[in-house]
Amino acid sequence: MSARDVLRAVMEAGLAAADAGAAVPPHLPARPAGRVLVVGAGKASAAMAAAVEAAWDGPLEGLVVTQQGYGRKLDRIRLVEASHPLPGLEAQAAAAETLVRASMMGADDLMLVLLSGGGSALWPAPRRPLDLDAKREITKALLRSGAPISEINAVRKHLSRIKGGRLARAAGPCPIVALAVSDVPGDAPDLIASGPVSPDPVTSAEALAMLKRRGIPVDETLAAVLDDPASETPKPGDPCFDRVDFRIVLRPADMLAAAAKAADAAGYRPMVLGDALEGEACDEGRAHAALVREMRARGKRVAILSGGELTVTIGGPGRGGPNREYALGLALALEGLEGVAALAIDTDGIDGAPDGAGAAIDAQTLARARAQRLDPAAMLAANDSGGFFAALGDTIVTGPTGTNVNDLRVILVE
């Protein structure tokens, strides 16, 4: 097998292990005496809902929201496809309906909550006087700032009527079982889809400080919402969480373990850097290039694997996402080093833009680019990693995968 073939095999093994639908059935609870309401939001919610329908032998009803293009055929649970990463009207209506339906559940019923990455944007319920347009602008500013997901979701929770544990509070006496596909570093329940049924350890004042630290303008309306005591989220110890059974059914570590096993089978010693990497994508690419050179100098044949969620501080007009930016930064730092090939993808199938999941590089990447009169450094500075890899034909396209356990990066070192 060529290095590119090995990369593809490792990637496919990781994606197969990240199958959200297959992860759900073993965690389904017993049937309650009363009704079963299934609600959910995220890029994996349709696949998870389909798995619930296939495995559940009793009556159920519900409503889940997923990103456009991620839908599945559902018979008993209504599906809404909505825009992401900026929230839209369809998702706002679905979030409002979810809150109403949750409030109508009783102590003998069960609310099954299906959560996955993307759920924050797919369950928008702005706290008044904020409206959806204001939420869109704040989300856009946060995404462009390079803030980690922990900060982005901390702010989102305090501007929402459903996130930050408020769905649990809305459900009153109804028992809740939450099944989650983690896409966040550390698998923190309060960060997955902004924790609609989990206690929030962050205060409104801390969320406001995060906005100011990132240089995001805070107008009078936004300040008024964050200063309002009613905007404070339910904290650990709140009795509304006594009825919540939170189960993570799939983690980034599961995907990395399968990818490492495939790399080992191909003859590369796996070196797993962890499933919680954060930071600027191009900076991580340079750091990993230094590790590659060290392994080469020591004569090691390894596969360097990592997960987590890298970010990009956007200053240019280009297209692409953190995985392609990482790959281009890595290629520039390696400068054609022989015996190295790598890929980086977002496991949801979309790396910042819907035209690709990520990209692959090897020792010839920069030479091929310069032969086409491309300037890799200038394109990286313009945040145009998408344009760079599209011109080379090295964009990795998976289409919507129906799951989301964040990034998968693989570097093969001969």
Contact 185, 276 (CB under 8 A): yes
> Tens digit of pLDDT for each residue in 402-411?
999 999 999 9
Of 250, 275, 291, the residue that ends a domain is 250
Assess if residue 22 is contained within a domain.
Answer: no
43: closest CA among 311, 310, 284, 346? Answer: 346
Assess if residue 177 is contained within a domain.
Answer: yes
Assess if residue 46 is contained within a domain.
Answer: yes
Considering the domain architecture, whether residues 9 and 35 belong to the same structural domain is answered as no
Question: Comparing 13-22, 222-231, 301-310, which segment has the lowest mean pLDDT?
Answer: 222-231
Considering the domain architecture, whether residues 169 and 246 belong to the same structural domain is answered as yes
Calculate the average pLDDT of the chain.
95
Q: Assign residue 201 the CATH number of its domain.
A: 3.40.50.10180
Considering the domain architecture, whether residues 161 and 230 belong to the same structural domain is answered as yes
Quick one: what percent of the chain has pLDDT higher than 90?
A: 92
**SS3 at position 80:** strand
Considering the domain architecture, whether residues 260 and 405 belong to the same structural domain is answered as yes
Assess if residue 225 is contained within a domain.
Answer: yes
Of 250, 270, 295, the residue that ends a domain is 250
Buried b (16+ CB within 10 A) or exposed e, 207-242: bbebbeebebeeeeebeebbeeeebbbbeeeeebbe
Assess if residue 137 is contained within a domain.
Answer: yes
Considering the domain architecture, whether residues 395 and 341 belong to the same structural domain is answered as yes
Assess if residue 363 is contained within a domain.
Answer: yes
Q: Residue 5's beta-bridge partner residues?
A: none
Number of domains within the chain:
2
Task: Round to whole Å and give the CA distance between 74 and 335.
Answer: 49
Q: Residue 63 is encoded by which pair of tokens?
A: 């409503």
Considering the domain architecture, whether residues 243 and 264 belong to the same structural domain is answered as no
Of 250, 275, 310, the residue that ends a domain is 250
> Tens digit of pLDDT for each residue in 130-174?
999 999 999 899 988 888 889 999 999 999 999 999 999 999 999
Q: Residue 7 is encoded by which pair of tokens?
A: 């990369």
Considering the domain architecture, whether residues 7 and 36 belong to the same structural domain is answered as no
Considering the domain architecture, whether residues 269 and 222 belong to the same structural domain is answered as no
> Tens digit of pLDDT for each residue in 174-193?
999 999 999 998 899 999 99
304 confidence band (pLDDT: 50, 70, 90): very high
Assess if residue 7 is contained within a domain.
Answer: yes
Considering the domain architecture, whether residues 206 and 239 belong to the same structural domain is answered as yes
- The pLDDT assigned to 341 comes to 98
Q: Average pLDDT, stretch 74-80? A: 97
Q: What is the largest CA-CA distance in the chain?
A: 69
- The pLDDT assigned to 374 comes to 97
Domain residues for the domain of 104 are 31-250
Considering the domain architecture, whether residues 210 and 258 belong to the same structural domain is answered as no
Q: Assign residue 327 the CATH number of its domain.
A: 3.40.1480.10
Considering the domain architecture, whether residues 219 and 262 belong to the same structural domain is answered as no
Considering the domain architecture, whether residues 103 and 242 belong to the same structural domain is answered as yes
- The pLDDT assigned to 346 comes to 97
Assess if residue 21 is contained within a domain.
Answer: no
